[in-house]
Amino acid sequence: MDLFPFFKSVLEQDRSAVVLCDLEHTIVYMNPAAVERYAKYGGAALVGRSLLDCHGSQSRIMIQKVIAWFEQDQGHNLIYTFRSDEENKDVYMVALRDGDGKLIGYYEKHEYRHQETMELYDFEP
């Protein structure tokens, strides 16, 4: 069974921005939420460009340090990088690994802490 469509659908439906990068820091994928979130910086046109071009010098240094940490151990897969009180979210960098555990890239994970406003099971049967 080809699981790719299932994994892609998970990313496409996520309400948080998901930007996947390879180890050269090239943006290889942006989900619709990311395209919308980063529209003023180019949106979908950012795919194929370097993520490092979107960050200041201190952030670029920290991204490089996190990648080095990810490479040290297959158990190094998640690191807390930022807190936004304005958006009530925590931000993490997450390692992407192939089936053998080899580091192949990374992404930034936004975890919003707002209570859900949608009603439970809000649909008409």
Q: Is the pLDDT of residue 125 over 80?
A: no
Using one digit for the tens of pLDDT, what is the confidence trace for 107-118? 999 999 999 898
Using one digit for the tens of pLDDT, what is the confidence trace for 50-90? 999 999 999 999 999 999 999 999 999 999 999 999 999 99
d(CA 5, CA 104): 20
Every domain of the chain and the residues it spans: 4-110
pTM: predicted TM-score of the whole model, two decimal places: 0.90
d(CA 79, CA 92): 5
Tokens 């406003």, residue?
Answer: 117
The CATH superfamily label for domain 4-110 reads PAS domain (3.30.450.20)
